[in-house]
Structure 1
Amino acid sequence: MTFICSETKEIIDTYVEAYNSLDVPGMINLLHKDILFRNFSNGVVNVETHGVQEFRKLAENSTKIFSSRRQTIIDWRAIDGKIEAIIDYEGILAVDLPNGLIAGDRMQLKGKSVFRIEEGKISLIEDYG
Structure 2
Amino acid sequence: MMRNTMTKLVQEYVKAYNSFDVEGMIQLLHRDVIFRNYSNGKVNVETRGISEFRQVAEQSKTLFTSREQKIKEISFSSEVAEVLIDYIGVLAIDLPNGLKVGERVNLEGKSIFHFCNGKISIIEDYS
TM-score bucket of the superposed structures, by smaller chain? over 0.9
Aligned to 1:40: 38
- Select the residue among 61, 78, 87 that pairs with 1:89: 87
Q: Distance in 2 between matches of 1:81 and 1:14?
A: 17
Structure 2 residue 119 is matched with structure 1 residue 121: yes
Counterpart CA distance in 2 for 1:42 and 1:64 is 23
State the 4+ residue runs in structure 1 displaced beyond 6 angstroms.
Answer: none
The match for 2:48 is 50
Alpha-carbon distance in 1 for matches of 2:92, 2:10: 26
Partner of 2:58: 60
Identity among equivalent positions (%) equals: 52
Picking from 24, 27, 38, the partner of 1:26 is 24
How high is the TM-score relative to the length of structure 1? 0.95
Alpha-carbon offset, residue 80 of structure 1:
5.3
Return the letter of the residue paired with 2:24. Answer: G
Q: Report how many aligned residue pairs link the two structures.
A: 127
Matched to 1:76, the amino acid is I
**Range with greater deviation from structure 2 (111-120 or 76-85):** 76-85
CA distance in 2, matches of 1:37, 1:93: 22
How far the C-alpha of 1:97 sits from its partner, in A, is: 0.7
Q: TM-score, normalised by structure 2?
A: 0.96
Structure 1 residues not aligned, in runs of 5+:
none
Unaligned runs of 5+ in 2: none
